[in-house]
Amino acid sequence: MTGGMLRREPWRQRTVIVPALLTLLACTLLGTVGWYFLGVAIAFNCGMSGTDCGTVAKLWLAAAGIGVWVLAAAAVILLVASRGRPGVRRSAAIACWVLLPAAVGWFYLAGRLA
């Protein structure tokens, strides 16, 4: 330790690539396959109960899909923003790890509210 200050090395690019790709993969699966199966489940429940579910269920279904795709776009933006800026990689990696459970939680919450 010289000069009283420790200099930390910037994080490597792969520390952002891994969580960003995992978040993008989870959001893509939830936004396509999960969204389709959620729509089928809502339609089945509405048909079996004999009542019309109305527009509330359809709006929450749309919110589930759109919300997950917005979080996927955020992961891509973080990945691109961290490519040329080593000082931002730590924050981008942490944000991508936070986006992953946020996407799953948002999809689950919107599905339960539909």
Task: Provide the pLDDT for residue 51.
Answer: 65
9, part of any domain: no
Q: Has residue 5 been placed in a domain?
A: no
Residue 1 domain flag: no
Total domains in the fold of the chain: 1
Q: How far is it, in rounded angstroms, from Cα 69 to Cα 28?
A: 7
Q: Is residue 8 part of a domain?
A: no
Say how far apart CA 43 and CA 58 lie, in whole Å.
9
Does 6 fall in a domain?
Answer: no
Does 97 map to a domain? Answer: yes
Termini Cα distance of the chain:
58
High-pLDDT (> 70) share of the chain, %: 90
Calculate what percentage of the chain has a pLDDT beyond 90: 39
Q: What's the chain's average pLDDT? A: 85
For Cα atoms 39, 57, 61, give the angle at the middle one, nearest 5 degrees: 45
Domain hosting residue 96, numbered range: 14-113
Q: Is residue 3 part of a domain?
A: no
In a domain, 102, yes or no: yes
Q: Which helix (H) or strand (E) holds 35?
A: helix 35-49
Greatest Cα-to-Cα distance within the chain, rounded to the nearest angstrom: 76
How far is it, in rounded angstroms, from Cα 39 to Cα 110? 12
pLDDT at 4 over 70: no
